[in-house]
Amino acid sequence: MAQPPPTLSDLVASYPVLETLAKYVSAYDLFHLGITSQSNHANIIASHRLFERLRRSCICDGLGLAMRKNFVGPYESKRPWPPYHRTDDPIEVQLYNLKCDTADTLPCVRCGVNVCEECRDYLRWPDESEFTGGRPHLPRFGGYANIMCLCPPCDAKAEAEVTGKYLNERCDCNMFTRWICWRCARVEEEEAAEYVEENTEELPDGWKHEYERRYKWEWEDVTKVVDVVGSDPRYFWCRCGGKVPGETVTRCWLCKRRHQPEENWMDEWMDLTYPELDGNPFYDPAYPTWVYDPIVGEYPIPYPRLGYLRPGETN
């Protein structure tokens, strides 16, 4: 009697077949395959170590670039209605024949899923709200972005987690070069915004401008006060809700390492804003110089190429 042909579940039960299959699907496809049946779940997902090993071989899913080309999801255009919209909308994805390089990938710094250059999330065009020199805690016009303050027990725990993990003891994150998928980038933004909303507070009205001159010592008895140039001072509590001593050094929300002390941020901002580099100093140093239309005053002539070549480009 003839044997019935093997099913997909029978095939993935063989590790060599499963290992080969992982090289041709994305991590999300592999995960979804693992939840289609109990047998597939046992062979693919049940062992965390096995799934992590298979995931390292997976290809990029191409979704990041697809959303950029269609201006949907996190890349949805948020320009106001005409005639108030700006004329230099991000049209890079319309000018270049961009393709997802499924095989040339690196793991996302947060979740470990492989993502290619075109699908990773980073700042690709100038915008007035972006970060000076790519540093996550230095938005151009002030604010409290991507920073957190921890109480002594939580601070010691965070320090233990990052010790030996990075080459530099202090945060050196760069929003242009950081390799992260769009999903994790959105989660980080939401978490950071929630922390500012739930664990920070502006100083009471009437005291903001007197803070540095007369009352700093009183307010630091409540919890740490962070005073960034261009923004009003704010109380910062720990993520656990505990009080933060005034001498505590702020940490990066992204990598959890310590920043420079706040009193050095202005010097750091100045060094990044006025470097002896070509291109636009407010953004990626590799970004080409913009040539503005003398009549319109905004639209570049022509729309500049990026400061590096993508795979397949010759000039």
* Model pLDDT, residue 297: 54
- Is residue 302's pLDDT more than 60? no
Give me the pLDDT at residue 32, please: 92
Q: What is the pLDDT of residue 91?
A: 63
Q: What average pLDDT does the segment 204-230 reach?
A: 63
Strand spans (E) along the chain: 105-107, 114-116, 147-148, 200-202, 224-226, 234-236, 251-252
pLDDT at 83 over 60: no
**pLDDT surpassing 80 at residue 177:** yes
CB 253 within 8 A of CB 191: yes
What pLDDT, on the 0 to 100 scale, is given for residue 93?
67
CA neighbours within 13 Å on the CB side: how many for 200?
Answer: 22
What size, in residues, is the chain?
315
On the 0-12 / 13-18 / 19+ scale of CB atoms within 10 A, 287 is buried
- Region for residue 125 given its phi and psi (left: phi exceeds 0; alpha: psi -120 to 50; beta: otherwise): beta
- Per cent of the chain over pLDDT 70 is 68
CA-to-CA dists, residue 67 to 155, 191, 295, angstroms = 38, 22, 33
Kindly tell me if the per-residue pLDDT of 15 is higher than 70.
yes
Region 302-310: what's the mean pLDDT?
53
SS (H, E, C) 180-242: CCHHHHHHHHHHHHHHHHHHEEECCCCCHHHHHHHHHHHHCCCCEEECCCCCCCEEECCCCCC
Query: What tokens does 33 get?
Result: 């395959």
Distant-in-sequence, close-in-space partners of 112: CB < 8 Å, separation ≥ 6 = 52, 55, 56
pLDDT at 219 over 60: no
* Residue 253 pLDDT: 93
Predicted local confidence at residue 299, as pLDDT: 47
> What is the spatial distance between Cα 194 and Cα 200, in angstroms, rounded to a whole number?
10
pTM score over 0.85: no
| pLDDT tens digits, 120-149 | 998 776 554 456 667 888 776 567 888 999
The band of 87, judged by pLDDT with boundaries at 50, 70 and 90, is: very low
What is the rounded average pLDDT for all residues in the chain?
Answer: 78
Of the two residues 38 and 142, the one the predictor is more confident about is 38
Q: Are 88 and 300 in contact (CB under 8 A)?
A: yes
Q: Which amino acid is at 109?
A: V
On whether the CB atoms of residues 45 and 51 are closer than 8 A, the answer is yes
**Model pLDDT for residues 41-70, shown as the tens digit of each residue:** 888 998 889 999 999 999 999 999 998 888
pLDDT of residue 248: 93
* Residue 25 binned pLDDT confidence (cut-offs 50, 70, 90): very high
Place of tokens 């990044």: 272
Bridge partners of 224, per DSSP, are: 236
Residues with Cβ within 8 Å of 224's Cβ and at least 6 positions away in sequence, in order, are 149, 235, 236, 244, 245, 246, 248
Place of tokens 């230095």: 138
Q: Give the pLDDT confidence score for residue 228 in this predicted structure.
A: 75
> What is the C-alpha separation between 315 and 311, in angstroms, rounded?
11
CA-CA distances (angstroms) from residue 192 to 147, 170, 188, 240?
A: 8, 19, 6, 14
Residue 24 CA, distance from chain mean position: 27
